[in-house]
Structure 1
Amino acid sequence: MNRAMAAQRLDEASKAIRYHYDVGNDFYELWLDKTLSYSCAIWADSKTLDAAQENKIAYHLDAIGAPGLTSVLDIGCGWGGVLGALELMPGIKRAMGLTLSDAQADFIQKQGYSKVTIEVKNWQEFQPVAPFDGIISIGAFEHFATPTDSVEEKIAIYRSFFASCRDWLAVGGRLSLQTIAYGSMHREQASSFFNEQIFPNADLPTLAEIAQAADGLFEIQRVENGRLDYAKTCEAWYRRLSANKAVAVEGVGEAVVARYLRYLKMSAYGFQFGKIQLLRLQLQALR
């Protein structure tokens, strides 16, 4: 891929992310939890969305051994739920987040964190000044490839991501990765509604593609499929948005709210019946 094509691809990826995530912070605050975590929670015995999302954040911090680290990178940091938790950890000296959403970056910067820095930048453009002890990436991986990429091209993109993460990690560093992935559904069966109106220019990975891309760069130490957790999370989001529908419509309009309610209902169904999965992977960098 030449430089012009690569630049165009990055620009299209940025526009696709902003299309979805820059609807407005006030809109998302109506139906997400208090940390604004827009990814699969871990319910276990939790009764509330807030508690389930705190479980998720704790899970990923534990996966990289965050209590014993001093620096962590969050790729696709959203509104900073993980970064907020890192800010409170005594041993952490440096926490950096990458996002492509101006709205998310603005929200994080207004929190007044002392250890956290944020960059509105694609991981392919990022060049850290020093290695990180651990990396977390939740809900970004599914945006790396596009529906027009061949399987070979997808794997090459994923491998480039893993190679970058390996190079950014200090010796012994771990990566905790969470991503939606294809389950019983193949990419050819993906909904045009999702591809065009919800997450344009995005394509899901398969576990096999992830494993092939990581081979020789990371040891996959743990894999979990949390699809039922995600079904329950989408159901919770649907209920909360429905309960706040009048306020949401006033803020973003009837069409946007209807689109999100349809997307959340369809997603819950897809996870419930295994058409799509939610993968959590713990990976150890190889040297």
Structure 2
Amino acid sequence: MRNARRRSYKGTSAKAIVRQYDFLGSFYSLALGPELVYSYAMWEDGDTLESAQLRKLDYHADAVNAAGRVLDIGCGWGSLMRRLVENHHAEHVVGITMSPSQAAWVRGQNWPGCEARVENWYDHRPDARYDAITAIEAIEHFAGNTMWRAKRVARYREFFERCHSWLRPAGRLSIQANTWHDRGWLAALLLPPQNLAAQDPGHARAHRAHRHSLPQAARIGAGNIREGLHASRKVFPEMFLPTRAEITEASQGLFTLVQARRDPDDGAYTIQAWLERLEANRARGAELIGAQAVSDLIREQRTALRFHRERRIGVVRMVLEKA
């Protein structure tokens, strides 16, 4: 029975996805800009949110040598799908999402070479092998909200096994993930920022003047857990962030790592831009989803912004090639 339950588990449920991307997304889309990109951008000096998002899309397209058939897992409103066909060399892009409204929106655009499906990756059955696969901030949904590392890695492993079977020889997979600090989710929530910033000397120096006493650190840790529970109940139910090590372990033997990069400020810059637009659209948001839901979402984003600035969470991008 345990094996049967494991086989039937498909990550975040359709009900939770609809809340996150159909219900809350109707307000959040007001902050995303014309490309409707609901993931962290790739920033350089002088960027706007729009230019930073296009850079991110092009990065993933270039990373997989986009050509032929491409699968975009967690395609959202199709921004990468369209970019792959119109600006790169993809002939046909299949985008899968569990959000009915996102898939309907993509279909309504009638973009040549773009096919959107309402489908869980677990249930995907390709018509033919793909030349490349992209998964931008999708893996966070694959393990539900389990706190046990071994179970998470096993679920990520199943994802990589399926991607391996869907790709042609030497095909590439480009992943972007919002990840916990390398020390794991519990340490990321409880430790003071100066401890977490040890791998980033410049950031660590910035926190030396802000050391906390043990009682202060305990209060901060308890507050972080409280905010994390609020986000998991009100904004992102059935979702859990991986660590980079968990992703690496799950892919071993199936894929060769071509490139990995940490972009520690990209999350903070993106959330800051989103928050400014969310605040400006509070009244419209209340009309769409209600004032309480607007407050819950903005509260979660403010917490995420602080977590990124304190290096509790960060953005990891990995390019993998089928072994």
TM-score, length-scaled by structure 2: 0.83
Q: CA deviation at 1:6?
A: 4.2
**Given the alignment of the two structures, is residue 197 of structure 1 paired with residue 195 of structure 2, yes or no?**
no
- SS of the equivalent of 1:284 reads strand
Q: Which residue identity does 1:248 align to in structure 2?
A: G
Q: Which residue identity does 2:41 align to in structure 1?
A: A
Deviates more, 1:82-91 or 1:264-273: 82-91
The aligned residue for residue 20 of structure 2 is 20
CA contact (8 A) 2:61 2:88 kept: no
Q: CA deviation at 1:46?
A: 4.0
1:219-241 deviation digits (Å, cap 9, x = unpaired) = 11211112311101001000011
The aligned residue for residue 117 of structure 2 is 119
CA distance in 2, matches of 1:204, 1:36: 22
CA distance in 1, matches of 2:11, 2:321: 31
The aligned residue for residue 195 of structure 2 is none
The one of 218, 222, 233 equivalent to 2:255 is 218
The one of 123, 131, 134 equivalent to 2:132 is 134
Moved segments of 4+, more than 3 Å: 1-7, 9-12
- SS of the equivalent of 2:238 reads coil
CA contact (8 A) 2:36 2:79 kept: yes
The aligned residue for residue 47 of structure 1 is 47
Q: Which residue identity does 1:65 align to in structure 2?
A: N
1:190-215 deviation digits (Å, cap 9, x = unpaired) = 51112211211111111111111111
Structure 2 gap ranges (5+): 190-224
Q: Which residue identity does 2:169 align to in structure 1?
A: V
Aligned length: 283
Q: 1:225-240 residue pairs with structure 2 within 5 A?
A: 225-240=262-277
CA distance in 2, matches of 1:35, 1:59: 16
CA distance in 1, matches of 2:253, 2:30: 43
CA distance in 2, matches of 1:259, 1:18: 16
The one of 293, 308, 314 equivalent to 1:277 is 314
CA contact (8 A) 2:11 2:142 kept: no
Larger helix share, 1 or 2 = 2
- SS of the equivalent of 2:131 reads strand
**Given the alignment of the two structures, is residue 259 of structure 1 paired with residue 296 of structure 2, yes or no?**
yes
The one of 173, 176, 179 equivalent to 2:174 is 176
CA contact (8 A) 2:12 2:143 kept: no
1:110-168 deviation digits (Å, cap 9, x = unpaired) = 00122111111111110101011111100110111133352111111111111111111
The one of 140, 154, 157 equivalent to 1:156 is 154
- SS of the equivalent of 2:314 reads strand
CA distance in 2, matches of 1:251, 1:105: 20
Relative distance call for 1:222 and 1:90 in structure 2 (3 A) is: closer
CA distance in 2, matches of 1:157, 1:11: 8
The aligned residue for residue 70 of structure 1 is 68
Structure with larger Rg: 2
CA distance in 1, matches of 2:184, 2:308: 14
**Percent identity (aligned):** 35
CA contact (8 A) 1:227 1:271 kept: yes
CA contact (8 A) 1:46 1:52 kept: no
